[in-house]
Structure 1
Amino acid sequence: MTSEPRRDPFTDPLLTPENAALVIIDFQPTQVASVRSMDTALMTKNVVSLAQIGTTFGLPVVLSTVNVANGQQPTVAELKAVLADSPELDRTQINAWEDVEFRAAVEATGRRKLIIAALWTEACLAYPTLDALREGYEVFPVVDAVGGTSAEAHRAGLRRIEAAGAQPVSWVSVATELQRDWARADTVARIREVVIVDRLLKE
């Protein structure tokens, strides 16, 4: 069994640690509690696992909140613990893409593939995804790490962004796409721990 030579990680059409950024928007207590499209405890576990995957591969992270300055709580503690080194970019806009600092942070990553999780699907995921797609980014919404205010709203939000060109993924598919080859030893142990030992064998 022989692996092919690794593709250029910057031009690879699939996700790589060198061509992707992780964007996480509005995983705050109020937003999490109001999700009705999936179990919120499972959704939170999934986004935490996604964040662990992102940090394992050294992805640049853009972490945003809404209205903390006006009284909303910040990022949920279990997610923020994983992303302790990522500043929270607070904003008032429902569409994060319309926030100057958020846009600048995304652009500063230098990456054109955006792995994105946001609450809610029909709003804070959909709007920046649509705008990013219009500006030539590839966007990969992590469908099992997002949620909407109803199952119907979640499905409608996903249909809308898929029709515009978004490429839906799961948190496990992100992990395996970034890893790609179990012969890449540097990250194997941690990815097995995050994906298999801590999650899939415990569910």
Structure 2
Amino acid sequence: MAIPANFDGQTPVIDSKDVVFIFVNQQSGTLQSVITPTVPVLRQRIAALSKVASLSDIPVIACATKVDSLMGPIIPEISRNAPHAHTFFYDDELMVWDNKEFVELVKSTGKKQIVIAGGSVSVALVNAALRAVSDGYQVFAVLDASGANTELERQIAVLRLIQVGVVPIGSSAVLCEVQKMRNVDHEMDLYDNLRSISPAYQLLYEAKCGKNS
């Protein structure tokens, strides 16, 4: 079994004080080819990830090919839920990590962990995640917030990620690992955000509130 890269024997969990969220090519044109998960579900998860970053003061970078490309604009869920998100556009490179300005932008956050989701799991996500690991980052790939054409495509992507030590993770786990503790600032906002992508969490929400909602 592959060992998570760059953790130096530490448990591979998200440190909300030392992480940056990166959305790669989450663009309207790119998502038109997505089969799994469904686009509405995918957008909901991206919105939840963006919101938890905003509530927890985590830097966000949304990168995309130029606005007039076939891939279209970045979906609005990111800026709507994380107004502080930095938008980065690149033109010539096929893969964003080949853009030196982008690499420097990520470096300038001063964070050693990256939580990443891509419009295409096998291209946008895998390439950026692999390159980030090789640059020394601890990388978490949010697979259920990244689009795929088939389950086989997703399975192949997971194998490639694990081979180099990227940590596969789901959106709900990201939200919980960022929150960590109960009785924190914005606790109910965090609970509400979690139940937006995990309807079963409604039961815990009701228990916390002591009422139905």
Q: What TM-score range do you get, normalising by the shorter chain?
A: 0.7 to 0.9
Q: Decide whether the 8 Å contact of 2:34 with 2:147 is kept in 1.
A: yes
* 1:68 match: secondary structure: coil
Change (3 A) 1:149 1:52: same
- Report the CA distance between 1:86 and its aligned residue: 2.1
**Following the alignment from structure 2 to structure 1, what is the Cα–Cα distance between the partners of residues 148 and 197?**
23
Q: Decide whether the 8 Å contact of 1:179 with 1:187 is kept in 2.
A: no
Q: Which residue of 2 aligns with 1:137?
A: 137
Q: Decide whether the 8 Å contact of 1:15 with 1:113 is kept in 2.
A: yes
Change (3 A) 1:67 1:149: farther
Question: 2:40 matched to 1:49?
Answer: no
Q: Decide whether the 8 Å contact of 1:69 with 1:90 is kept in 2.
A: no
- CA deviations 1:108-166 (Å, max 9, x no partner) are 11111100011211111111111111111111011110012322222211210111100
Q: Which residue of 1 aligns with 2:169?
A: 169
- Report the CA distance between 1:72 and its aligned residue: 4.2
- Report the CA distance between 1:80 and its aligned residue: 2.8
**Following the alignment from structure 1 to structure 2, what is the Cα–Cα distance between the partners of residues 47 and 67?**
20
Q: Which residue of 2 aligns with 1:83?
A: 82
> Percent identity among equivalent residues?
19
**Following the alignment from structure 2 to structure 1, what is the Cα–Cα distance between the partners of residues 163 and 185?**
37
Aligned residues: 191
**What amino acid is aligned across from residue 115 of structure 1 in structure 2?**
V
Q: Which residue of 2 aligns with 1:7?
A: none
* 2:63 match: secondary structure: strand
Relative to the length of structure 2, the TM-score reads: 0.82
Change (3 A) 1:50 1:20: same
**What amino acid is aligned across from residue 66 of structure 1 in structure 2?**
T
Relative to the length of structure 1, the TM-score reads: 0.86
**What amino acid is aligned across from residue 179 of structure 2 in structure 1?**
Q
Question: 2:159 matched to 1:153?
Answer: no
Of 177, 188, 199, the residue aligned with 1:201 is 199
- Report the CA distance between 1:85 and its aligned residue: 2.9
Question: 2:188 matched to 1:189?
Answer: yes
* 1:160 match: secondary structure: helix
- Report the CA distance between 1:70 and its aligned residue: 4.0
Q: Decide whether the 8 Å contact of 1:140 with 1:168 is kept in 2.
A: yes
- Report the CA distance between 1:84 and its aligned residue: 3.0
